[in-house]
Amino acid sequence: MKREIAGFREIEHTADWELEVWAPDILELLKEAALGMFTLSGAQLSDRPRLTREFEVAAVDPEGLLVSFLSELLYYAEGDGLGFDQFELSLDGEKLWVQARGAPFVSLDKEIKAVTYHNLEVRNEPGGLLVRIVKGEFC
């Protein structure tokens, strides 16, 4: 089976669930991880209004960027009831600039309580980067 250039999929996990994310570079990996997080949580977004949130996060490594980025999205999900499905990202050294577009939740099947570093490793693979995020990272 040929894999798409970037994407995510749910993997069966003995305890809960696991998300595998792959992409040609770190910016695409971050986007796919965010889409995967909202998809696996069962997020259904309203058609209107479309909203934009801009923010910056910083980290010294890809794992740190991933956790910081997803945690900030989770902050908006919990605090404002917003989910996101479009992202513009720019990386300058250790700083990630984010413009996230989304909408209020119509429904959400699984609440994500936190994003952690537990067993988190962004790996170089043929064709790009790969990370597996176990439900433990999403609690």
Amino acid at site 47 = D
User: pLDDT digits over 5-16, tens only?
Assistant: 877 777 765 556
Q: How many residues does the chain have?
A: 139
User: pLDDT digits over 19-52, tens only?
Assistant: 899 999 999 999 999 999 999 889 999 998 999 9
| Residue 40 lies inside a defined structural domain of this protein | yes
User: Of 55-64, 70-79, 127-136, which gets the smallest average pLDDT?
Assistant: 127-136
Amino acid at site 15 = A
Rounded to two decimals, what is the model's pTM?
A: 0.88
User: pLDDT digits over 83-128, tens only?
Assistant: 999 999 999 999 999 999 999 999 989 887 778 887 889 999 988 9
- Kindly report the CATH number assigned to the domain that includes residue 35: 3.55.10.10
What total of structural domains would you count in the chain? 1
| Residue 1 lies inside a defined structural domain of this protein | no
| Residue 2 lies inside a defined structural domain of this protein | no
**Distance between the two ends of the chain, CA-based, in angstroms?**
31
Q: What is the DSSP string of 24-93?
A: SSHHHHHHHHHHHHHHHTT-EE-SS--EEEEEEEE-SSHHHHHHHHHHHHHHHHHHH-EEEEEEEEEEET
Give the range of the structural domain holding residue 122, as residue numbers without chain letter.
7-138
| Residue 120 lies inside a defined structural domain of this protein | yes
